[in-house]
Structure 1
Amino acid sequence: MSTQGFSTLAIHAGAAPDPVTGSRVTPIHQTASFVFNDADHAARLFALQEFGNIYTRLTNPTTGVLENRVAALEGGVAAVATASGHSAQHLVFHCLMEPGAEFAAARQLYGGSINQFAHSWKKYDWRVKWFDIDDPDSLKAAVNANTKLVFAESIANPGGLVTDLAAVAEVAHANGAPFVVDNTMASPFLCRPIEHGADIIVHSATKFLGGHGNSLGGVIVDGGRFDWGANAAKFPTLTEPLSFYNGLDIHDVFGAIDLGGGPVNISLAIALRAFALRDIGPALSPFNAFLILTGIETLPLRMARHVENAQAVAKWLESHPKVAWVSHADLPGHRHHDRARRYLPKGAGSVFTFGLKGGYEAAAKVAGGLKLFSLLANIGDTRSLVIHSASTTHRQLSDEQKIAAGALPEAVRLSIGIEDVADIIADLEQALAAV
């Protein structure tokens, strides 16, 4: 594992000058496939006996740099990039779940994930049990010896609540289940969940990693710590001979492989690429990988400014007479303030909600009345963004689910950008004045 600082890794991890042209910036390898040296070389690649490029659905040099960089920033052993954050989640579940299998998930999630878990996964007969991140008893009730994985967000979208990562990891591991954390809202600059017990990280790289709202992408990071062999019966894709790879046992071969720095466990990363990504096919385009890589180079600078601006805006909103409440964990009165100091010492992010005293209609009017802010369904842009979650991103949920997720009727979600904070506040002030 590298001892270099975060900002250095954000610029250099996984990259080197192009050996053919000398290009300092990672080139866009915009190609569908790659030429083999000979028939034996091709056979070794297809048999997973040698690493290399076959087809861009599986691997690509540009995408490979992105994967190595995000793995380094998260403190993982390997990563697999995909076409979107949702596809990243899909591949993780595809590798670990079987028909009829159970998993546990926090109620405080992005609305699209709640819908994915509660409805789309039913077609695979993958069965969810929900828990509340503030209710340890509900967590213990949702997780048992049959649980295949436990899923939560480091910072919940949209409510800005903070998950007690170590506590969830302890329950997951006591039941032989890996802990999967969506770290999109925090980014590895603010939180590194693997250090607190997480086994797998997923990102919508569309958000803060890319940071400019110009490309879709997802990344899965393999923490390399979960012992799949000790739980072999629960995870046959990783621990049983695969007929479509001539009887290859992925964990037996890749559970302790030396890539030059000592043995590492990259079993999950290999299964994600060689099985799930190969057959389901949500490959990240090399051009989008290039854009996300470029965004990551400024991730530390952007996140620091995002947090600084968000803290100032949250504090200003807290004192506004038309605002009923503000949910940002950096505010001293927030119920997760102490938890944020533990897991997010550099700040609790730039996405949070606030509630209008005028309720649903007032919230919708404020969201639509902002001018500097863009009203759209995204977060993590350099630009300030706004949405009324209850009528948009979480609209498909029941009222009970909306409230549990933090998408209350009176709530407005903000994603604070890196503009001058005085201009951000001025825009909020004019929109609130019109209510």
Structure 2
Amino acid sequence: MTTTELALAPSTGFSTTQVQGGYRASASVGAVPPIHQTAAYEFSNLAEAADLFALRKPGIIYSRNANPTQQILEERIACLEGGASAVAVASGQAAVAVTLLALAHRGGHIVAAHQLYGGTIDLLQETLDDFGIGVTFVDQDDLDAWRDAITPQTRVVFAETVANPIAQVLDIRAVADIAHEAGVPLVIDSTVGTPHLIRPGEHGADFVVHSATKFLSGHGSSLGGVVVDQGTFDFGADAARWPQFTGPYTRFGEMVLWEQFGQGHAFAALVKSKYVHDLGPSISPFNAWQILQGIETLDLRVARQSATALTVAEHLAGHPAVSAVHHPGLPGNPWHELAERYLPNGVPSVFSFDLAGTQDETAFTRVATVLDNLRVFRLVANIGDARSLVAHPASMTHGHLTADQRAAAGISLTTIRVSAGLEDPADLIADLDRALALL
């Protein structure tokens, strides 16, 4: 249930951490982290097994809960985010789900931004409702709306660093202050932001979630997700509000997770021993290993993708077939100032643009004309890939939303999402120009 021993000093630089964090090689084990492709583990004796199953002793009991390769991944991402501990699971969606289930608990309430990935909105407004967990959506730029939506039952405030797909930049510090004034943690999905461009914990976030499928992996080959506990939220300060951490954990007798594991680690212990154990969203050792390989080049890839996206966005901003480009790196964008404040290393490579023309029955046909004639960009429901990708949010990732919900998120019928990859920027621009000329 625990993470591996720190293999690097906390002050180690980002690039060194992304290559070596969480793993110490030895004479008998190579420099590259191994894949522990096993379902279960042999115990030295029954007493040890009993202690492990009762959480009296740290260790691994079964790969549904933890695996040595997974633990290296968790340690590395926790280090990159400056956090205390992490839990890796089967997908980014699973990471969001187990995080919100663990924090909201029974009958809890979540305040979330309108500007979210469509799958997250599905989870919040439908599936979590089945668990008796309510949600209120607010405009992420309206600080009064955040304050007004919080109730005595609120247990989580949730948003994205840079929203998918319109690339709205969150004022993380302002929203964190509102959450903390109400005595609840701020959970940030920083999949688009990546720890290279922004570390939300430095701006007040208490938990940081990633779809590791995206930039952390970087090659569109493996599903995975991770949540990092920054170790900043004190569940013991208002113990009655957080019985899942401060009260007896009945399946383990009178054990209290807050006392047994402490701040920064009790959350991971709960998620692994209950939500991952019971619901089974386990990451495979092979996927964990592939994501580790991707992380080794994270800063190199993200820096290149960020620069390419800005180049493409600047070109589209002057194109006659484009009515708007939603990229916070462009002067005049509503979130340009926030991007300069929170993203000094570059703006993420996921952004959107709108085709010129009316929002009527011809919109889908016009979008299809462009997307179906691209040859370098790939029409794929993913982001953060080495390849440049496009999608139509209104009929794909956000297709389950109502028209009002799409409007609240800034998505029109002619919005096209772009995830810039590692190709030559000139080829990407030429590809877009060729397709846009067909309108």
Same topology, TM > 0.5? yes
Deviation at 1:367, TM superposition (A): 1.9
TM superposition outliers: structure 1 runs of 4+ over 4 Å: none
What letter corresponds to residue 198 of structure 2 in structure 1?
C
Deviation at 1:96, TM superposition (A): 1.6
- Measured after TM superposition, the shift of residue 18 of structure 1 is 4.9
Distance 1:411 1:127 in 2: 30
State the Cα distance separating 1:41 from its structure 2 match.
Answer: 1.3
The residue aligned with 1:425 is 429
Provide the rounded CA distance (Å) in 1 between the counterparts of 2:275 and 2:343. Answer: 32
Following the alignment from structure 1 to structure 2, what is the Cα–Cα distance between the partners of residues 97 and 22? 41
Query: What are the within-5 Å matches in structure 2 for residues 36-435 of structure 1?
Result: 36-255=43-262, 265-359=264-358, 360=363, 361-435=365-439
TM-score (normalised: structure 2):
0.95
Q: Which amino acid counterpart does residue 236 of structure 2 have in structure 1?
A: G
- Structure 1 residue 394: deviation in Å? 0.8
Task: Spell out, residue by residue over 1:221-253, the C-alpha distance to the aligned partner (whole angstroms, 9 max, x if none).
Answer: 011110001122222111101110121100012
- 8 Å CA contact 1:145–1:176 kept in 2: the answer is no
Give the unaligned 5+ runs of structure 1: 257-264
SS where residue 412 of structure 2 aligns? Answer: coil
* Counterpart residue type for residue 84 of structure 1: S
Q: Distance in 2 between matches of 1:76 and 1:273?
A: 17
2:19 corresponds to which residue?
11
Q: Which residue of 2 aligns with 1:262?
A: none
Superposed displacement of residue 171, structure 1 = 0.6
TM-score by length of structure 1 reads 0.96
Task: Give yes or no for contact 2:107–2:133 (8 Å, CA) kept in 1.
Answer: yes
SS at match of 1:25: coil
1:143 touches 1:171 (CA, 8 Å); kept in 2?
Answer: no
CA apart distance, 1:266: 1.2
Deviation sequence 1:408-432 (CA, Å, 0-9, x none) = 1111000000111111111111111
In the alignment, is the contact (CA less than 8 A) between 1:18 and 1:27 conserved in 2? no
User: CA–CA distance in 1 between the matches of 2:409 and 2:69?
Assistant: 36
The alignment status of 1:2 with 2:6, answered yes or no, reads no
Structure 1 position 340, deviation (Å): 0.6
User: Aligned equivalents of 1:320 and 1:151: distance in 2?
Assistant: 36
What is the distance in 1 between the residues matched to 2:323 and 2:26? Answer: 55
Return the offset for 1:268: 0.9
CA shift at 1:47, angstroms? 1.8
Displacement of 1:134 in angstroms is 1.3
Shift of 1:137: 1.6
- Distance across 2 between alignment mates of 1:12 and 1:79: 17
Which amino acid in structure 2 is aligned with residue 398 of structure 1?
Answer: T
Cα shift at 1:79? 0.4
Shift in Å, 1:144:
3.1
| Alignment deviations for residues 53-78 of structure 1 (CA, whole Å, 9 cap, x no partner) | 21111111101000000000001000
Please give the alpha-carbon distance, in whole angstroms, between the structure 2 residues aligned to 1:267 and 1:46. 16
Partner amino acid, structure 1, of 2:395: S
Matching residue's letter, 1:307: S
**Alpha-carbon displacement from aligned partner over 1:371-397 (angstroms, at most 9, x marks no partner):** 111101110000000011111111111
Q: How well do the aligned residues superpose, as a CA RMSD in angstroms? A: 1.2
Distance 1:176 1:144 in 2: 11
Cα displacement (A) at 1:50: 1.8
**8 Å Cα contact 1:110-1:405 kept in structure 2:** no
By how many angstroms is 1:146 displaced? 2.4
| Higher mean displacement: 401-410 or 237-246 | 401-410
- Aligned residues of 2:105 and 2:244 also touching (Cα < 8 A): no
Give the secondary-structure state (helix, strand or coil) at the position aligned to 2:135: strand
Check whether the contact 1:86–1:204 (CA below 8 A) recurs between aligned residues: yes
CA offset at residue 99 of structure 1? 3.3
Letter in 1 for 2:107: G
- SS of the residue corresponding to residue 119 of structure 1 reads helix
Q: 1:334, 1:2 → 2: CA distance?
A: 37
CA distance in 2, matches of 1:305, 1:285: 29
Task: Verify the 8 A CA contact 2:115 2:163 in the aligned structure 1.
Answer: yes
Deviations along 1:84-138, one digit per CA (max 9) or x if unpaired, are: 1111111112212233321100000001111111111111111001111111121
Kept in 1, the 8 Å contact 2:107–2:153? The answer is no
Q: Is the 8 A contact 1:208 1:381 kept in 2?
A: yes
> Is the 8 Å Cα contact of residues 176 and 204 (structure 2) preserved in structure 1?
yes
Q: Distance in 2 between matches of 1:199 and 1:329?
A: 25
